[in-house]
């Protein structure tokens, strides 16, 4: 009779089959079935490729063409949110147990940190040549202008810029802010309130040529501060729309070009720009401004929409001055969050 664990050869000789070796072989087969027969370095190649693509979009977003649907500007509007893609890829790489995917993930992580790590660092201390500026699109549907004015003044600013000022609400803002901000200027639907005297108030012609209706959404004034004269610009650029065909931003871009030319021609050395620019600082549509002015060094301050802020389209920029930190303030009756910035004069 055959012996357990043995087998018969053609010559009648019984050959032992070690049971331990058979069990080991079965274990290897099971492990191979689970991993697809691949090592940690050969699994996850698709995840690694997605990491490389994400890194490329972060590092070379300017290379994405804007000719069709302004896809480049659309990407740049939501560029910080590619960080969520990095997190998702990390989780998938860990589940896949892929060393290749984990190593490749270092590329988008480094690119995101380079772009947005700085703004997340704590703000440095205040200096003796600092000003605080508040920027807010107060909304033409704001049902509580007095409460909004008190909230903006509560941040302790030296300058307050507002957009979407409507004639019925304007006297309320003027009365509420009169004691703390005795100087103010209004042009069309934008206004500036200041603790310091204002001179040289002028409207800004930033209307896109395609708009035929009356449209006055910019002003320029000179604030006489203890640190010297500062040209202050307040602007509300046209809105953009996200459509199936892409980003509709041609009017916004044209208005940004006009505003950029006005700032380039400004004779006063120090300039502060406050406004609802309907674009992020990475959006190439605002390059006529971002190429001439410094943006905030610290803080992301997503300001729109108020229900779930996705981007900061309310901006504070400066020339011959540094925007040290920007932050959001609590919600008012607007669909935007106010932003407050600390500016250090050079």
Q: What digits encode the pLDDT tens for the residues 1-33? A: 555 555 444 444 454 555 545 444 454 444 444
Per-residue pLDDT at 30:
46
Domains, the chain, in order of start with CATH, read: 45-120 (no CATH), 130-345 (3.60.10.10)
Residue 140 pLDDT greater than 90, yes or no:
yes
DSSP state of 260: H
Based on the number of CB atoms within 10 Å of its own CB, is 96 exposed (0-12), middle (13-18) or buried (19 or more)?
A: middle
Written as six digits, the tokens of 60 are: 């070379």
The answer to whether residues 295 and 272 touch, using CB atoms and an 8 Å cutoff, is no
Phi and psi at residue 188, in whole multiples of 5°?
60, -120
pLDDT one-digit tens code per residue, 171-214: 999 999 999 999 999 999 999 999 999 999 999 999 999 998 88
The answer to whether residues 316 and 133 touch, using CB atoms and an 8 Å cutoff, is yes
Query: Strand, coil or helix: what is 184?
Result: strand
Query: Strand, coil or helix: what is 209?
Result: coil
Per-residue pLDDT at 212:
86
DSSP secondary structure of 187-198: ETTEEEEESS-E
**C-alpha 25: how far from its chain's center?**
55
Per-residue pLDDT at 129:
82
Residue 139 pLDDT greater than 70, yes or no:
yes
The answer to whether residues 186 and 160 touch, using CB atoms and an 8 Å cutoff, is no
The pTM for the full model equals 0.86
Q: Which of 1-5, 139-143, 165-169 has the lowest mean pLDDT?
A: 1-5
Q: Compute the average pLDDT of residues 250-268.
A: 97
Query: Strand, coil or helix: what is 29?
Result: helix
Rg (C-alpha) for the chain, rounded Å, is: 30
Per-residue pLDDT at 134:
98
Q: Which residues contact 133 (CB under 8 A, 6 or more apart)?
A: 157, 158, 159, 160, 161, 272, 274, 316, 340, 341, 343
More confident residue, 229 or 25: 229
More confident residue, 27 or 250: 250
Q: Compute the average pLDDT of residues 151-163.
A: 98
Q: Compute the average pLDDT of residues 109-117.
A: 96
Per-residue pLDDT at 245:
78
- Please report which helix (H) or strand (E) contains residue 84, including its range: helix 82-96
């Amino acid at each position: 009779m055959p012996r357990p664990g043995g087998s018969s050869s053609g010559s009648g000789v019984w050959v032992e089959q070690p049971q331990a070796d058979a069990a080991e072989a079965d274990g290897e087969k099971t492990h191979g079935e689970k991993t697809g027969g691949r090592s940690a370095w050969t699994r996850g190649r698709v995840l690694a490729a997605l990491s490389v693509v994400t890194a490329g979009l972060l590092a070379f977003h300017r290379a994405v063409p804007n000719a069709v649907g302004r896809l480049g500007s659309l990407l740049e509007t939501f560029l910080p949110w590619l960080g969520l893609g990095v997190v998702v890829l990390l989780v998938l790489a860990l589940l896949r147990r892929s060393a290749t995917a984990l190593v490749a993930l270092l590329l988008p992580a480094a690119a995101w940190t380079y772009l947005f790590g700085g703004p997340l660092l704590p703000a440095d201390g205040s200096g003796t040549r600092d000003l605080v500026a508040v920027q807010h699109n107060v909304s033409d549907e704001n049902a509580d202008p007095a409460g909004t004015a008190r909230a903006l003044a509560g941040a302790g600013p030296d300058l307050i810029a507002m957009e979407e000022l409507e004639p019925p609400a304007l006297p309320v803002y003027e009365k509420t802010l009169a004691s703390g901000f005795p100087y103010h200027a209004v042009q069309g639907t934008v206004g500036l309130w200041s603790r310091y005297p204002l001179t040289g108030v002028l409207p800004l012609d930033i209307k896109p040529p395609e708009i035929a209706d009356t449209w006055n959404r910019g002003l320029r004034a000179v604030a006489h501060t203890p640190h010297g004269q500062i040209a202050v610009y307040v602007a509300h650029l046209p809105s953009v729309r996200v459509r199936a065909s892409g980003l509709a931003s041609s009017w916004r871009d044209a208005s940004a070009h006009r505003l950029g030319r006005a700032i380039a021609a400004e004779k006063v050395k120090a300039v502060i720009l406050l406004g609802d620019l309907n674009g992020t600082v990475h959006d190439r549509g605002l390059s006529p401004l971002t190429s001439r002015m410094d943006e905030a060094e610290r803080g992301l301050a997503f300001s729109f929409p108020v229900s779930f802020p996705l981007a900061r389209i309310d901006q504070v920029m400066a020339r011959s001055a540094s925007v040290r930190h920007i932050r959001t303030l609590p919600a008012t009756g607007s669909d935007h969050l106010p932003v407050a910035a600390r500016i250090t004069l050079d």
